[in-house]
Amino acid sequence: MGQKEDKRLSPRRDINVAVTTQSHSRLQEFYAKNISGGGIFLEMEESPAMGERFKLAFTIPGKNEPLQVEAEVVRHHPIETMDADFNPKQIQGVGLRFTDLTAEQQQLIEQYVRGRGLSVQG
């Protein structure tokens, strides 16, 4: 058996930030595992439907102002983790594709992913 091909187009970087989500007037907070110029991967307790759209708010490390963007569910992936008592548990990883980044937001995320300085040229 060969390795599964990674079809994602953008380079990504691990990130551990809180992400506030809004869908159907419901606000929730989750943690991001990684980010790319194309989207973000969140840990969630339950899997939202493929194609479901969310409004997201999160802060790139080193910046003060949160990014507010929209994204849609494009991928589900189970994650093995531990609960508060260090017992194994499985949660859902959910890949969200950004749907409305401004040029400035795109540049900011790509600079973070590539490990470059966070100044945005305007």
The token duo for 40 is 């973000």
Which pLDDT score, from 0 to 100, does residue 122 have? Answer: 37
| Residue segments in the chain with a per-residue pLDDT below the cut of 50 | 1-6, 8, 118-122
**pTM for this entry:** 0.80
Q: Which residues contact 53 (CB under 8 A, 6 or more apart)?
A: 23, 70, 71, 72, 73, 99
Yes or no: say if 100 and 44 are a contact pair by the CB < 8 Å rule. no
**In the block, which residue shows the tokens 């091909």?**
5
CATH number assigned to the domain with residue range 12-113, chosen from the 4 options 3.40.50.2020, 3.40.109.10, 2.40.10.220, 3.40.190.170? 2.40.10.220
pLDDT tens profile 71-88? 999 999 888 888 889 888
pLDDT tens profile 96-112? 999 999 999 999 999 99
Q: Which residues contact 3 (CB under 8 A, 6 or more apart)?
A: none
